[in-house]
Structure 1
Amino acid sequence: MPGPAKRILIDDARYILALSLMTDDPVSLIAAWPHDVHRIGDATYEAYRKRFPDIANKTRIAGSAESLSIEQILDVAPDVAIFREGLGPTPDQVRQLESAGIKVVFIDFFSQPLQNLEKSLAILGKLIGAEERTQAFIDFRNAHLKRITDRIEATPDLKRPRVFLEVHAGLTECCNAPGKGNIGNYVDLVGGHNIAADVLPSAIGRLGVETIIDSDPEIYIATGGPQTAKAGGFVIGPQFTTEEARASLARMAARPGIASLEPVERGEVHGLAHQLLNSPVDILVTERLASWIHPELFADIDPDATLTELNDRFLAVPLAGSNWIDLR
């Protein structure tokens, strides 16, 4: 590109959060987005709409989970169109967009974020001419990650507890879980053993209750948010009270099969806002998982303090709590 992008089309709302780490006015750069509010949460979207009212008026286009419309993208005529790796346009469609003068970029916050998130952020920072601020955040993230990985490496005889992590808990029939990739990789990073990776070859899949029981997990972690509310699932996030979040987590723990798990009987049950997953602020997830899976090894890790620093130093719109909870 001859210069920084001024009109960006994105197929995932979480890319707005990434841009807000790099510039004080991320919405001014957005030419079109899917209006997939559920991916960042209603409360977060309202905070952006209050700060940047024009976000509601931006052209709506198909998201990464929908059918791509080349005609729709051509009508918007952005400088660059950004898609989730593994989805989006085919090679022929990329050529069609590029022949119209629209640059095409693929990034990955979803499949292999530990490998690709830093590279994806660097690409976005370069696209908008914000390399210095972007690198400052990358350095911040790497320093926090290194504090965890160094400690894991320095503990060669570390026992890796078996972790059952259920995503979108209660949204559908039990139980959706990360396999090889996605949030499951973070469980391994912080010294846990993701039981779903033993049977699921892809980044996400479904486990039967019998498989979960046979795997004998020692820790149970659920993710949820406003997207699970109508189904009576686990809810958490800025728009829910602590009491609502804990009550819904207790319902998840009381389901047939789940209630008999050893961590549930011990009260070793935790909840995490799903909107933090597949997100540029994945360091919050990493620290929270570390403190749950190895509470003694990481007793000094404080995700709340990290969130405060993220808000003070980087995010154009502060990220509100509460985004994690314990059943006890």
Structure 2
Amino acid sequence: MKTQAVLLFLLFLITGGCQQQAESVSGPVTESSTITVTDLAGREVTLKQPIERIILMRSLGIYELAAVLGDEVEEKLAGWDSSLKTGDLDTYEKYIERYPRLEETTILGDILRDTVSAEAVLALKPDLVIMNTYMLNRGSKTVGRLEQAEVPMLFLKSEDPFRDPQQSIRLLGQVLGKAERANAAADWIDAELQQVFSKLKTIEGPVPTIYLEAGTRGSEKYGNTFGENQQGQTVNWGSVLAQLRCENIAAGSVSGLYGMGVIRPEFLLTADPDVIVITGAHWTAFPESLQLGYTADPARAARQLAAFTKRPGWSELTAVRQQRVHGIHTRFGSHIMSFAAAQQLAQWLYPEEFQDWNPKQRLQEFHQKFMPVEMSGTWMLSLDGD
């Protein structure tokens, strides 16, 4: 019996020691893993994994980040710029309501006004700073300082609203460990857009003319319309119109560094477009703007849209006489919900061919499938009330 007891005791020591050794080997790894990707500016970027602290240098890109991260956006967003709060207040308030902690998220200033300091960024200890390719030129000083400080940056794109947002969320999904979720959203958007483009290819006959204006300044002052930039490229809403079988009356008549400018009223009245579209959002600096978005009141938006038709000479325009004047959210020209712009504009341009389409319902479904906030408010409307 004594011999058996001794053997059992020795066996206990051996197995216990092995168990302790196995636990120490399978414990936390002290060295972080990394991932290397090519961003949408063509830069090779190596990032630590997992990414826990994110700075969104273009907070208007919250749509893409939220679609990829879902509820994790609240805990991982360490800082952002002021563009969402000043240029899309409805969306800012919607996310603050859903995620109250975001109201405490550090606002770093405006990179395009060169008010973002590298020191403030470094103080937040980010694992990733999400940038946009337009910042390479328009915010070059700040970008240069961040590069010198070796801040981990990833550049996304928004110039082509029908392709760049999907590329951006696929890339975000890759670096944030959310590839399956991001690819599902991108595939859904691509499928929605393909249906529009396929339908447009079957249409014959005259190509309708269109005038699109950013309703930033309200009806009293003309806002920017969209043509080509100095390189002859269409971006933002100019790119949207260039891909939808319509004739943008501003193409060739409005150009500039950023592909936008104010049209001459006389030119507009002479061109007499078939369709007029005013884009809206909630710009805090312009309370008179056409306000559309998550908290927009439909009755107020309808009054604001109707006010544009009271401009001098507009009562004689074909689009006004036929009530083909519409409003649509301005961010549809630069983020992942651009599919709704394609569907809605196609329906306004070709009401008979797209009469059975329901862009608002598709926008609702997108929110249910991929966005962490619920669909609400007013995003598109027409002078005739539809």
Question: What is the TM-score when the length of structure 2 is the normalising length?
Answer: 0.77
Deviations 1:284-309 (A, max 9, x none): 11111111111112222211221221
Residues 37 and 45 in structure 1, CA contact (< 8 A), matched pair in contact too: yes
Residue 11, structure 1, aligned to residue 57, structure 2 = yes
**Distance in 2 between residues matched to 1:118 and 1:248, nearest whole Å:** 32
Structure 2, unpaired ranges of 5+: 1-46, 228-233
Distance 1:22 1:231, change over 3 A: closer
The offset of 1:228, in angstroms, is 7.4
Deviations 1:17-71 (A, max 9, x none): 2121112221222110124344673333233222211101111112343213222
**Distance in 1 between residues matched to 2:65 and 2:86, nearest whole Å:** 15
Residue 183, structure 1, aligned to residue 237, structure 2 = yes
One-letter identity of the residue aligned with 1:18:
E
**Distance in 1 between residues matched to 2:77 and 2:177, nearest whole Å:** 15
Over aligned residue pairs, what C-alpha RMSD do you find?
Answer: 2.4
Q: How does 1:58-69 map to 2 (within 5 A)?
A: 58-67=105-114, 68-69=116-117
Residue in structure 1 matching 2:175, options 123, 127, 138: 127
Structure 1, unpaired ranges of 5+: none
Deviations 1:176-235 (A, max 9, x none): 111122112222322221111221234322211012122221101111232278553323
Residues 177 and 196 in structure 1, CA contact (< 8 A), matched pair in contact too: yes
Q: Which position in structure 2 is the counterpart of 1:112?
A: 160
Residue in structure 2 matching 1:159, options 178, 202, 206: 206
Residues 222 and 271 in structure 1, CA contact (< 8 A), matched pair in contact too: yes
**Distance in 1 between residues matched to 2:141 and 2:347, nearest whole Å:** 46
Residues 169 and 228 in structure 1, CA contact (< 8 A), matched pair in contact too: no
Residues 34 and 61 in structure 1, CA contact (< 8 A), matched pair in contact too: yes
Aligned length: 326
Q: Which position in structure 2 is the counterpart of 1:86?
A: 134
Residues 162 and 339 in structure 2, CA contact (< 8 A), matched pair in contact too: no
- Helix, strand or coil: the match of 1:198? coil
Residue 27, structure 1, aligned to residue 74, structure 2 = yes
One-letter identity of the residue aligned with 1:133:
R
**Distance in 1 between residues matched to 2:296 and 2:161, nearest whole Å:** 28
One-letter identity of the residue aligned with 1:263:
A
Distance 1:97 1:236, change over 3 A: closer
One-letter identity of the residue aligned with 1:20:
A
- Helix, strand or coil: the match of 2:154? strand
Residues 168 and 224 in structure 1, CA contact (< 8 A), matched pair in contact too: yes
Q: How does 1:1-328 map to 2 (within 5 A)?
A: 1-25=47-71, 26-38=73-85, 41-67=88-114, 68-87=116-135, 94=143, 97-98=146-147, 100-109=149-158, 111-155=159-203, 157-171=204-218, 173-179=221-227, 180-201=234-255, 202-227=258-283, 230-328=286-384
Residues 296 and 377 in structure 2, CA contact (< 8 A), matched pair in contact too: no
The offset of 1:273, in angstroms, is 2.1
Segment drifting more, 264-273 vs 87-96 = 87-96
Identity of aligned residues (%): 25
Residues 217 and 263 in structure 1, CA contact (< 8 A), matched pair in contact too: yes
Computing the radius of gyration over CA atoms, which structure comes out larger, 1 or 2? 2
Distance 1:231 1:19, change over 3 A: closer
